[in-house]
Amino acid sequence: EPEVTQTPSHQVTQMGQEVILRCVPISNHLYFYWYRQILGQKVEFLVSFYNNEISEKSEIFDDQFSVERPDGSNFTLKIRSTKLEDSAMYFCASRTRQAQTEAFFGQGTRLTVV
């Protein structure tokens, strides 16, 4: 069964360092998303991406964040200068259409900023 894969599963980084989280969405999907979940809190939307551009972003997704689809398979989230409050689980998701279809999530990357 097709699935969304994320790497690494766990990343520890020093405050102020850059991190890149990687995702391989399901191959025939067109819409891609990043969400995050701080421990004990809701899953919250960060950004959506379609047709090689950002279609929507949340207030969390400031200038320190960027997304890229460098080739036909990978979808990355970059945090330029990590802060302690960036520590969270980051989930990539993909779906075939924007509305009325389910989104499939990866297993997540646990980011710990120290």
| Residue type, position 25, single letter | P
Nearer to other proteins, 74 or 98 (CB): 98
Nearer to other proteins, 41 or 81 (CB): 41
Residue 65 half-sphere exposure, CB side, CA atoms within 13 Å? 19
Nearer to other proteins, 9 or 17 (CB): 9
Candidates 12-20, 42-50, 64-72, 77-85 — which segment interacts with other proteins by CB under 8 A? 42-50
Does residue 61 interact with other proteins by CB under 8 A? no
CA distance 44 to 48: 12
Does residue 28 interact with other proteins by CB under 8 A? no
Residue 4 corresponds to which tokens in the numbers above?
């969304």
CA distance 51 to 55: 9
Taking CB under 8 A as the criterion, the residue among 41, 59, 63, 71 binding other proteins is 41
Residue 80 corresponds to which tokens in the numbers above?
């330029």
Neighbouring C-beta atoms of residue 15, cutoff 10 Å: 13
Q: Residues in the site for other proteins, rule: CB under 8 A?
A: 4, 6, 31, 33, 35, 41-45, 48, 55-56, 58, 89, 91, 93, 95, 98-108, 110
